[in-house]
Copies of this chain bind each other. A is one copy, B any other.
Amino acid sequence: MRTPLTELQKRVADFQVSLQNKGVEGALLVQRADTLYFSGTAQNVHVYIPDKGKPIVLAYRDFERAQRESSWQVIPLKGISKIPKDIQEAGLPLPRVMGLELDVLPVNNFERYRKSFPEITLVDISGEIRLQRSMKSDWEIARLEESAQIMSLVMEFAKEVLQPGMTEVELEGLLAGKARALGHDGLVRMRGFNSELYVGTITAGAGSTAHSSFDAPITGSGISVAHPNGASLHEIQIGEPIVVDMVTVVDGYQIDQTRILSLKPLSQELRMAYETARQVEERIRSALIPERIAGEVYEEILTWVSENTPYGENFMGFGTSRVSFIGHGVGLELDELPTISKGSKIVLKKGMVVAIEPKFVFPGIGAVGIEDTVVIEAELGARYLSTTPRELIEV
C-alpha cells in the first residue's frame, strides 16, 4: 500500500511548523521508521525536509523501488559529501541550522554528516519527530485497525492449535506463522539502543515470572543466555496461565496485545487477578483523555491498585523486575511516545495510540494480565483498537 500524497503532505507540513518554531531551517532524516513516515518508502533513503517547500528523497538501494513507492521527488544518493550540492540543485537553500536524529544516529555516522556540512550547526530534531509521530492520522488508525483484525484471527487460531505438552516455542511458531500468512509484516521495529524483540512473549506457568533484560512486566526466560527473553522450551501444562503477548504489523503499523489462555480453567485466585487486571485496564483507558499528564495517570492507577486490590506488590512485575510504566506508545515502532510512566510530563493528545498493559506477576506460580492498543480520542476515554474479546481464553 502506497502512502497517499495528501497524507505525506500533511506530515511534512506539520513537521515544518516544528522546524520553524525551533529555528531549524531543514532536517536530514536517515532512520528507517522516520524515513518511511515522511517519504512512504522503506528502501534505503535519506529524506531532506526544508522548513518550507517540498522535501527531497535521496535513495541508494533500491532507487527504482523508492521512486515507485514515494510520492516525492526521488534522486540518487551519490554520497554523503554530495548532499549539500543535491539540496542546492533541487532549488533549496542550504540551511544554517540543520536537524538530525541524534537519539539514534551513531557517532561515526554523525561525523560524516558534520564533515559534509562544515559551516552548518547540527541539532537534535528527534524529540519533535517522536512527538509528531505519536499523534496518528485517520489513515494511520485505519492501518492499525487492519493490524488488529489480524491479531484477532491469530487468537482464534491459538484456541484451535493449543495442546497440552506443546512447548512455548512451538506455540510461538504456529502463531507467528499464522500472523504472517494473514499479512503481518514480521519485523517489529524498536527505536531504543539495544532494544530487540523477536516475535513477542509466549510464556506459561512459573517460567513466565523470570526476570530479564527486556523492559516489560512479563518477559519470559528465552532459550539461551544469549537471548534471555521470550518463549522457552517449557512444555505447557494443564491449568497454567499462558501469556500470549504479540505484535502484529500491517504496512509498518503495530498492534501490541496480550491475552491469557489456559488448558482447563485457571485457579480461582488467578481468575480473580485476571478480572482485576481487566478492571485496571478499563480505569487506564478511561483516564487517557486529551490534555492529561501521562505521569499523573500513572500515579493515579498505581495508587488505585495498591489501595483497592490485594496485588499492589505483584503489579507490573515483582521485586526487582517491576517496571515503572503501565503503557507505551505504538505505531511504526514499539517504543513510541507517550509512555504512561513514572514522572512522564508528556501531555496526552487526540490521536495518540497507546498499548496499555496492566499485569500481575506471582513468583513461582505464573503471570496474568491484559494488554490492548487504544487510541486517545475524547473526554470519555480512549477507544479500543484491539478487537479480540477480553475474556480469559479457556480451551
List residues of A whose CB falls within 8 A of some B CB.
1-3, 30-32, 36, 40-44, 61-65, 69, 100, 102-110, 124, 126, 167, 169-170, 172-174, 176-178, 180-181, 183-187, 189, 193-194, 196-199, 210-213, 215, 222-228, 230-231, 233, 249-253, 320-321, 332
Contact = CB atoms under 8 A, between A and B. Distances in A.
B212 A43 contact: yes
Contact of A227 (B194, B211, B231, B252): B252
Contacts of A183: 223-224, 233
Q: Could you say how many copies of this chain the assembly holds? A: 2
A-B pairs, top 9 by smallest CB distance, nearest first, are: A173-B177, A226-B252, A186-B198, A62-B211, A169-B180, A185-B227, A102-B107, A43-B213, A44-B213
A61 B44 CA distance: 33
Most B CB contacts (10 A, CB to CB) among A42, A126, A186 go to A186
A49 B110 CA distance: 26
A213 B42 contact: yes
A176 to B, nearest CB: 6
Contacts of A184: 223
23 contacts: A3-B225, A31-B194, A40-B225, A44-B194, A62-B212, A64-B211, A65-B213, A102-B107, A104-B193, A106-B106, A169-B181, A170-B180, A170-B181, A173-B174, A173-B177, A173-B180, A176-B176, A185-B222, A185-B226, A186-B227, A187-B198, A189-B196, A225-B251
A250 B196 CA distance: 17
B223 A180 contact: yes
A253 B227 CA distance: 11
Contacts of A102: 106-108
Nearest to A179: B173
A219 to B, nearest CB: 9
A107 B110 contact: yes
A62 B185 contact: no
A2 B224 CA distance: 9
Contact of A170 (B62, B177, B194, B250): B177
Given A109-B193, A180-B169, A227 B249 contact: yes
A181 B236 CA distance: 13
Contact of A320 (B64, B176, B180, B199): B64
Contacts of A225: 1-3, 40-42, 69, 251-252
Contact of A185 (B186, B194, B224): B224
Nearest to A111: B102
Contacts of A185: 222-224, 226-227
Contacts of A41: 225, 228
Most B CB contacts (10 A, CB to CB) among A40, A124, A199 go to A199
A65 B198 CA distance: 20
A224 B62 contact: no
A178 to B, nearest CB: 7
A320 B62 contact: yes
B62 A32 contact: no
Nearest to A178: B173
Contacts of A197: 187
Contacts of A126: 108
Contacts of A105: 106-107, 193
A335 to B, nearest CB: 14
B42 A228 contact: yes
A321 B62 contact: yes
Contacts of A332: 226
A169 B186 CA distance: 10
A65 B212 contact: yes
Contacts of A3: 225
A207 to B, nearest CB: 13
